[in-house]
Amino acid sequence: MSEKFQMVAKTLQGLEDVLAEELKEIGAENIEVGCRSVSYYGTKETLYKSNFWLRTALRVLKPIYVFNARTIDEFYGNARKFDWTSVMELSHKFAVESVVNSELFPHSRYIALKLKDAIADQFRDKFGKRPFVDPKKPHITFHIHVNNDVCTVSLDSSGESLHRRGYRVAQDVAPINEVLAAGLIKLSGWNGDSVFIDPMCGSGTILIEAALIAYGIAPGIFRQHFGFENWLDFDEQLLQSIYNDDSRERHFDYLILGRDISKQAIASAMENIKESGLHKKIDLGVASIFDYNPPRVDKGVVITNPPYGERLKKEQIENFYKQLSDVFKSKYIGYDVWIISSNQEALKSFGLRPSKKINLLNGALECKYQRFSMYKGTLKSKQS
């Protein structure tokens, strides 16, 4: 029977519950939701599947050593007690990332430096040589998390952040993070059961993530490499079996449509969609949201990330949002329209009351993610 151990998946603020649901789907156990993270237990197979299948995880850590320290000397001494040769070789280049929440250790970079010293010094004492530190292209990355006097060292199983799927070869102005895009779709409840539209699609990230969900394609399929492939216990056969398992793939009988007023944005979206191999599954076109006529359906979903107004005057952006609401009310009957925006004033001029509000972060911007349900009679009820 495979050994079970703890893992911690990192995510964006507001997506923790979505990630927990995803973890249930891959068979994770003892799931506990934290702040921007979810901890759980599973086997090596669970670890590999976490990196390959989780749409809303940024990285997956495996805690390997927990100790207490109240001074730098105590930290270094206790860090030396772990057998680092059990997780890396002398030939491996390594890096250390640190997060410190402790008055005992005010400088997180110094903590990272002392852990590097403890690891390198142990190798020097055993082999007469120190392994190289390489923060840009390490074979092994350690994460040290210090909370008061509790120090937790973890192995980073992901390597490059999991939001870097591998399909983005072109980008428009301020593209949305792939993990956030997948999270928006998951939060909407859309699961490939109706038409999907992004009428201001930019370089196509939301469309691609929607297609991956609709067709049951793993977001890790495009990745060239995961961090755990450099680990001493890497099982290539196990990873290959996960790659080759297409049991979650499925048919999708609706349309995924993307439009944007910018020819350059649509050109970028086309490049990315071709790179993802989804060019036959997504319908793209150049069109202003004010001119585009969506399919008439009983049920559909719109998810879009309109301009926030950083480069527009207050009156312009508020007028733009007012016009947006008019378009949705008149042309999108039967659709649930989801909008993410950091511009609270502009959202107030939208002219419709949201049926759901969710607080999220888009980069450093605090955003509202809101649902507007376009039932028949929405326009009449607002005009009366």
Residue 311 pLDDT class (50, 70, 90 cuts): low
Which residue's entry shows tokens 């947006």?
Answer: 324
Q: Which residues in 304-334 are b (16+ Cβ under 10 Å) and which e?
A: bbbbbbeeeeeeebbebbeebbbbbbebbbb
227 CB-contact burial (10 Å; exposed 0-12 / middle 13-18 / buried 19+): buried
Average pLDDT over residues 285-303: 96
Close Cβ partners of 241 (under 8 Å, ≥ 6 residues apart) = none
Q: Are 175 and 205 in contact (CB under 8 A)?
A: yes
Q: How far is it, in rounded angstroms, from Cα 56 to Cα 167?
A: 16
- What's residue 286's pLDDT? 98
Which of the pair, 345 or 278, is modelled with greater confidence?
A: 278
Q: What's the mean pLDDT when you consider all of the chain?
A: 93
304-332 mean pLDDT: 84
Other CB atoms within 10 A of residue 190 CB: 21
Alpha-carbon distance values, 5 to 61, 93, 133, 229, 295 (Å): 11, 25, 27, 18, 49
Total number of residues shown for the chain:
384
- pTM above threshold 0.75: yes
pLDDT digits (tens, 9 = 90+) for 35-44: 999 999 999 9
Asked whether the beta carbons of 52 and 229 are under 8 A apart, the reply is no
pLDDT at 58: 98
Predicted confidence at residue 203, as pLDDT, reads 94
Asked whether residue 139 carries a pLDDT value surpassing 70, the answer given is yes
CA dihedral 27, 16, 227, 156 (to 10 degrees): -110
Residue 379 pLDDT greater than 50, yes or no: no
pLDDT band at 380 (very low <50, low <70, confident <90, very high): very low
pLDDT of residue 352: 86
Q: What is the pLDDT of residues 212-226, one digit of tens each?
A: 999 999 999 999 999
Residue 312 or 260, more confident = 260
pLDDT grade, residue 68 (50/70/90)? very high
pLDDT of residue 317: 82
Decide if pLDDT at 252 tops 50: yes
Mean pLDDT of 185-204: 97
Tokens for 135? 């923060």
Q: Where are the beta strands (DSSP E) in the chain?
A: 5-10, 29-33, 37-42, 59-68, 94-101, 140-147, 150-156, 195-198, 256-260, 283-286, 300-304, 335-341, 356-362, 365-373
pLDDT of residue 347: 83
Q: Which residues contact 104 (CB under 8 A, 6 or more apart)?
A: 69, 70, 71, 146, 148, 149
In terms of Cα–Cα distance, which of 220, 129, 208, 211 is closest to 175?
A: 208
Give buried/exposed letters for 79-97 (b at 16+ CB in 10 A, else e).
beebebeebbeeebbbbbb
Q: Which residues pair with 145 in a beta bridge?
A: 99, 152
Q: Which domains does the chain have, with CATH numbers?
A: 5-156 (3.30.2130.30), 178-216+252-377 (3.40.50.150)
d(CA 316, CA 282): 31
Does 1 score more than 70 pLDDT?
Answer: no
Residue 309 binned pLDDT confidence (cut-offs 50, 70, 90): low
Percent above pLDDT 90 for the chain: 84
Q: How far apart are CA 346 and CA 343, in angstroms?
A: 5
155: Cβ contacts below 8 Å, ≥ 6 apart: 61, 62, 64, 87, 140, 141, 142, 143, 227, 228, 231
Query: Taking residues 44-69, what's their average pLDDT?
Result: 98
**pLDDT at position 312:** 62
**Confidence class for position 301, pLDDT limits 50, 70, 90:** very high
Query: Helix-strand-coil percent breakdown of the chain, rounded to 5?
Result: 35, 25, 40
